[in-house]
Amino acid sequence: MGNRKKILMAVPSEIIFLGIQRILEVPGKDLFRVGSLDELARFNTSENIDIVLIDPSLIQHNLVLFNKIATEFEGAKWLGMVFSYFEKNVLEQFDDIIQIGDRPETIKRKIGKLLESGNSQESHIRNTLSEREIEVLKLLVQGNATKEIADKLFISTHTVITHRKNISQKTGIKSVSGLTIYAVVNKIIALDGYSG
């Protein structure tokens, strides 16, 4: 517990920032703020941020850009600050969420729990793609056609197509060659495991 924890808040609202800042007045934490997704993309990641508290409205129409940004914050935990309704696919981007109406003790407890869980060695994409989507991605980059993937996973071709659409939407990559590079970079497959 000797080393200082760093928290970055990505929130456009000054009132929400000041409220959370007041709740989090705990020695040993550094608190930074950005007000937009563009500012988050330009943030100096050498600060080694432990937790990013983010307003989900910043990413709900920018999941591709968000996933690119998230990979830059290696080991950071993502905590969504929810104050209205958001689609499930937006909320799935986070390690945990806090509600705007949560009591200060609840907010502190959730942040403490994320800090104690340590840095994840897995890339953010593993949190983003479901286990089934990762299975489909692996088979896809190994050269399997939609029907072959469906047969191997005992699912319908329609379900495989849906998974492929979700993978493309979440990663921002449509081509198999691009997905192959993505899978290698994110350690979903090893280069020697690729039979291209």
Please tell me the pTM assigned to this model: 0.60
Q: Are residue 90 and residue 181 in the same domain, yes or no?
A: no
Q: Are residue 90 and residue 170 in the same domain, yes or no?
A: no
CA gap 141, 72 in Å, rounded: 24
Number of domains into which the chain is organized: 2
Q: For the residues of 125-179, what is the DSSP string, one character each?
A: HHHHS-HHHHHHHHHHHTT--HHHHHHHHT--HHHHHHHHHHHHHHHS--SHHHH
82 DSSP β-pair partners: 99
Q: Are residue 91 and residue 111 in the same domain, yes or no?
A: yes
Q: Are residue 87 and residue 69 in the same domain, yes or no?
A: yes
CA gap 173, 189 in Å, rounded: 16
Q: Domain range holding 160?
A: 129-193
Report the CATH number that the domain containing residue 176 is assigned in CATH: 1.10.10.10
From first to last of its 196 residues, what are the pLDDT tens digits of the chain?
Answer: 346 788 999 999 999 888 888 888 765 568 899 999 999 999 987 778 999 999 999 988 887 788 788 888 878 889 999 888 887 777 877 888 999 889 999 998 998 888 887 654 444 554 578 889 999 999 999 999 999 999 999 999 999 999 998 888 888 788 888 888 888 877 888 766 454 4
Q: Are residue 142 and residue 184 in the same domain, yes or no?
A: yes
Boundary of a domain, candidates 60, 95, 120: 120
Q: Are residue 94 and residue 139 in the same domain, yes or no?
A: no
